[in-house]
Structure 1
Amino acid sequence: MNKGDIESSELKYSPTMEAVEPHETWKDGYGSGLRSFEFNGDEGSSDEEKGPLLRRFVDSFKPVQLEDDDVDLSQLTPLERSIYATARHPLSRKLKSRHLQMIAIGGSIGTGLFVGSGYALASGGPAAIIIGYILVGFAMFCMVCALGEMSVQFPVSGSFNAFYSRFIDPSVGFVFGILYACSWVISFPSELIACAITVEYWNDSISPAVWVAIFLATVMVINLFGVKGYGEVEFFLSIIKVLAVIGFIICGICLICGAGNKGYIGGRYWHHPGAFNHGFKGVCSVFVSAAFSFGGCELVALAAAETANPKKSLPKATKQVFWRITIFYFLTAVVIGCLVPYTNKQLLNGSSSEDVTASPFVIAIVNGGIKVLPDIMNAVVLISVLSVGNSSVFGCSRTMASLAVQGLIPRIFGYIDRSGRPLFSLIFIYLIGMLGFLVVNENQGKVFTWFFSICSLSSFFTWAGICVAHIRFRWGLYAQGRSTEEVIFTSPMGVYGSYAGVTILVLIVMGEVWVSIFPIGSPADVVVFWQNCLSLPLMIVMWIAHKTYSRSWNRLYIRGEDMDLDTGRREVDIELLKQEIADEKQAMRESPLYYRIYRFWC
């Protein structure tokens, strides 16, 4: 679907978002005439809205009503059909700016930060965890800025999962999309188990399987309300998590300065036992924990297709990443590095990221002699785990729906009901979530270790792929004689930020492979290597399999001249858009310096 294949493209959204009217004129053999369809909101027709509550509830599970003229898509290539399908996929659009802001701020504050940071501290020491967070954080900031640019321009179903196929190659989109969906679907039962184990902090007389059932039902009910339910729950849970982290930082600074029963601590633990543990290898070991902590930042862009006004909401949410990294990760790493020595034996329990007693937050508070706060922090950890489980369902279901509409997995997973829910994708995830009942099995840790090995390094490749897609998108603009003057939101880091992000992430993967071949404190172990790096050969096999199945060996990547840079845009009058962007830039240049600095970072 080249730029000449579409004469005009327009997506109009009503203020209530109860109707969507895309109009596309096709030529060059792709059909003719004005084409339109209507998406009758999230509640069905007006007659249904006046009916009994039970009937409206039952009818909400019916397929979304689309009214469109017949359009001949038979002459489109598979890639062109994929782009067209993701652009018109009828997901609900009920996320507001406040939802996206809090998802951006608190979306990745979970067990990776509260518990997993303890294992990272034990492996590398306080200096290593700061270095690891800075490197991964910088790569994440570059990635999210690049992703924000593309998602504002193309708020389509699946966001970056669609961008892989659109700007790099469909086979790459298949591999990264499947691995990304796997990472979330495997995370879901693991988080349910973590919820059950966290509750045992207060009461271990009840079978953990009971708590798994309760939390599974809770997440199911939340997602029964569609994206609006997810957005509202994440809004309030994120507020709690953000307040908890800020409160801990303030409390930690007080403890460092001598408010606790240990007196003045300062940088005592940086001198003894030291700033680093296991040297450079210890620094490399921190990267996976850092990736686990930062995981979820990309969910903001994944929600772009379900956002009422992505042009306004996404840039703000994207820029929040800088503050989240600075405040919630860098400052937290400094505080826990000062309060907890890496020799603390409780930290080693955090290798599973499920034992709350391994949380450096809880350890620091207990060592400080504060009796009430450990229970409060445990409650915050429980809330965080529930939030990550909720995000797992959202992330996996939307990814599967996007892959299905692209024809990369069975199309039944792309079924969208009248409330905008990817129904069969949700059912599939809930079935996988029942693996959480393995909590009663003493070997559940080994089972999930091998499950996670399938997507062990997938986060790094997902983020690197986003940066590559951004580079390819910019190359497509250049190759077609177009410029960033028509790009609604440009990445503050520019295309060079994407190059830097790819470079850092590739080096991190190399470091992880090295640590997996030569583990810390033990000789080379084949089992450990495959547990950490199984995703590498799996990605290659999946890529070769898809290339063979799709018979696309004649094309390893999409040429810039062939990229579709128009389908799926909400603003399609290029000249008018260029003028609006130019006016905004001129107004910004005339603004005071302090305001320009504020808008750059916020």
Structure 2
Amino acid sequence: MTSSIIEKATELEAGITNVSSSESSENKIERVKSQLEWKPSEDKTYMQNFLESFKRVELEEIDPTLSVAEKIAIKTARTPLKKKLKNRHLQMIAIGGAIGTGLFVGAGSSLSTAGPAGVLIGYLISATFIICVVLGLGELAVEFPVSGSFTTYANRFVDESFGFAANWNYVFGCSISLPLELVSASITVDYWGTPKKYRDAFVALFLLVLIVINLFGVKGYGEAEIVFSAVKVVTIIGFIILGIILVCGGGPDGKYVGGTMWKSPYGAFVGKNGAQRFKTIVSVFISAAFAYAGVEMTGMAAAETKNPRKSVPSAAKQVFWRILLFYIISLTLVGLLVSHKDPRLIGNSYVDAASSPFVIAMENHGIKGLTSLFNVVICISVLSVGNSSIYGASRIMVSMCESGHIPKWTKLDYIDKKGRPLMALLVLLGFGIFSFIAASNKQDEVFTWLLSLTGLSAMFTWFGISLSHIRFRHALKAQGRDTDELWFSAPTGLWGSYYSCGMIALIVVLDFWTSLWPYDSSPNAEYFFEDYLSAPVFILMYLGHKIYRRNWKIFIPSKEVDIITGRRVTDIDVLRAEIAEERAYMATKPFYYRTYKFFC
């Protein structure tokens, strides 16, 4: 069996990398990959097939004479991860992937820090560059649906040292997100008067659910996200409708709210002068980064999507509408219904089950019954974001082990016959042990530390995505190619990625300033490291890898960048013909349909 798998893997590799192949359509690659896929034997019992499914998929060794970059490209391109995600899975991952405790609970910290107007400014500015990031990622993910997604792109298009730091940064962020979400769950169950001694039991329950979901592989992840995302989307839409009614005075108390919370004595901003208000808005960027974290998951899922060419562009474009509807509108209503001075908000006094600004908004205006339901949704969000963190980080770990950024003896590149990265999943679930801090009296401090660490981590991830897109476009031009050969070209183009890189770099610098000199206190070492620890860690990993490899180049020269290995389509002439045909077909459609397809 092993020899036949090796032969099929060799054929698969040839089908991906050989540009002049006679059978050059996507069908060849899909046919070979379907042959490589393991299927249960009818001659064996269910238990025998179940146990055999955990055995490792063995692939042929890579030619040792190839360069490091070439080995990484081939290994990540021929990954045995299963392509089980369908369009409906990716659409729901795109719609609900970033809706979690960062919005439902963490937004309260932003509101108390910057006020209702400061929150909107911070989230809107963050949204402008995040849209550029996701569209650039969509372009790369369609062309290169490889293991590791955006962190693999950093290795190939930017530099191996940058890819090393980006890989560890993302794993670090996802590993922290898991206990962070479970700590949030322990806070939420307090709403129903759950004794503190039972908090660990709820943490264990949530971990068990995540383990079961991931045992079903990528299809289990996709189906779970459909359910989780549907619940979250319905809840947010319901809150928006309820919020509009309450603002207009349709609540049980019958009071017209309007813009009361934006006026004296509350105020639209926090701070006594312009400088202080500017600092509070800068601090919102990090909270917004934590809330938006997860938008890049559509690119990660491309390697396990049946038809990324169709589903990934649509999912990437939906980021604009998702942010507009789920974040900006809902946060506008929260700012109208909740005072930024409310002592129940995170940052004003303490953290408990009522810290969610959405729950506070309902309680303040006489809506009692729905608060319990909303807290149930927060618990579901915990499972969703925890599930996404495990999914994303496990795939990155596989890519890192394949790339040599994690030692081979760790076996983190172990993928079984059902396409599950077992060793990586076990390591990540082990991080869930840290969530048992929920029983501690210091859980609010833990929440604040983890929130800050993961927020800045997301900034580095997005910077790496946009920089990879810039380097890919430069490589195309340097090698005499152009965007006409791309299945999907980001509507924001090359300049959108330049804009996102510039904005992220500016925010990281400004965050250094506000971390060192907070608006409401003197310089504080504890506050600085609490808010900015991941930046020096990223720099040290980057420089450490440079020194170890003795690689002093900042970027891989554009003419040397590998833009062939792992590409889904192998015949450029056929590709261009199909794109021209699609454009001609689109030209026959009405203007409103073309407009809809451009944005959605």
Question: Residues 86-135 of structure 1: CA distance to partner in whole angstroms, max 9, x if unpaired?
Answer: 00111011000000000000000000111111110111111111111111
Change in CA separation of 1:454 and 1:401 when aligned onto 2, cut-off 3 Å? same
The Cα shift of 1:561 comes to: 0.4
Aligned pair 1:547/2:546, yes or no? yes
List aligned pairs for 1:367-516, cutoff 5 A: 367-411=364-408, 412-446=411-445, 457-516=456-515
The Cα shift of 1:355 comes to: 3.5
The Cα shift of 1:540 comes to: 1.7
Q: Which amino acid aligns with 1:576?
A: V
Aligned pair 1:591/2:582, yes or no? no
The corresponding residue for 1:29 is: none
Q: Which amino acid aligns with 1:91?
A: L
Counterpart Cα distance in 1 of 2:66 and 2:423: 27
The corresponding residue for 1:61 is: 54
The Cα shift of 1:65 comes to: 5.0
Counterpart Cα distance in 1 of 2:372 and 2:67: 58
The corresponding residue for 2:198 is: 207
Aligned pair 1:274/2:267, yes or no? yes
The corresponding residue for 1:30 is: none
Q: What secondary structure does 2:406 align onto? A: coil
Aligned pair 1:238/2:229, yes or no? yes
Aligned pair 1:356/2:346, yes or no? no
The corresponding residue for 2:33 is: 20
Number of equivalenced pairs? 574
List aligned pairs for 1:137-176, cutoff 5 A: 137-176=127-166
Cα contact 2:183–2:447 (8 A) shared by 1: no
The Cα shift of 1:544 comes to: 1.4
The Cα shift of 1:306 comes to: 0.5
The Cα shift of 1:74 comes to: 1.7
Q: Which amino acid aligns with 1:474?
A: R
The corresponding residue for 1:32 is: none
The corresponding residue for 2:310 is: 312
Q: Which amino acid aligns with 2:223?
A: E
TM normalised by structure 2 equals 0.92
Q: Percent identity?
A: 46
The Cα shift of 1:289 comes to: 1.0
Q: Which amino acid aligns with 1:581?
A: I
Cα contact 2:452–2:530 (8 A) shared by 1: yes
Change in CA separation of 1:17 and 1:233 when aligned onto 2, cut-off 3 Å? farther
Question: Residues 177-215 of structure 1: CA distance to partner in whole angstroms, max 9, x if unpaired?
Answer: 101111111111221222222122114235211111111
Counterpart Cα distance in 2 of 1:209 and 1:391: 22
Instruction: Note the residue ranges of structure 1 that are not aligned, 5 or more in a row.
Output: 22-37
The corresponding residue for 2:255 is: 263
Question: Residues 215-248 of structure 1: CA distance to partner in whole angstroms, max 9, x if unpaired?
Answer: 1111000100001111000101100100000000
The Cα shift of 1:442 comes to: 2.8
List aligned pairs for 1:323-342, cutoff 5 A: 323-342=321-340
Counterpart Cα distance in 2 of 1:441 and 1:94: 40
Which residue of 106, 110, 113 maps to 2:100? Answer: 110
Cα contact 1:65–1:418 (8 A) shared by 2: no
Cα contact 2:213–2:220 (8 A) shared by 1: yes
TM normalised by structure 1 equals 0.91
Cα contact 1:456–1:535 (8 A) shared by 2: no
Question: Residues 396-435 of structure 1: CA distance to partner in whole angstroms, max 9, x if unpaired?
Answer: 1111111111111123111100110111000101111112
Moved over 6 A (4+): 9-18
Change in CA separation of 1:152 and 1:525 when aligned onto 2, cut-off 3 Å? same
Counterpart Cα distance in 1 of 2:218 and 2:191: 32
Change in CA separation of 1:410 and 1:18 when aligned onto 2, cut-off 3 Å? farther
Q: Which amino acid aligns with 1:20?
A: K
Q: Which amino acid aligns with 1:426?
A: L
Structure 1, 476-485 or 205-214: larger mean CA deviation: 205-214
Q: Compute the RMSD of aligned alpha carbons.
A: 2.2
Change in CA separation of 1:448 and 1:338 when aligned onto 2, cut-off 3 Å? closer
Greater relative CO, 1 or 2 (CA 8 Å, sep 6+): 2
Which residue of 132, 150, 154 maps to 2:122? Answer: 132
Change in CA separation of 1:382 and 1:442 when aligned onto 2, cut-off 3 Å? same
Cα contact 1:157–1:398 (8 A) shared by 2: yes
List aligned pairs for 1:82-97, cutoff 5 A: 82-97=72-87
Instruction: Note the residue ranges of structure 2 that are not aligned, 5 or more in a row.
Output: 1-12, 272-276
The Cα shift of 1:371 comes to: 1.7
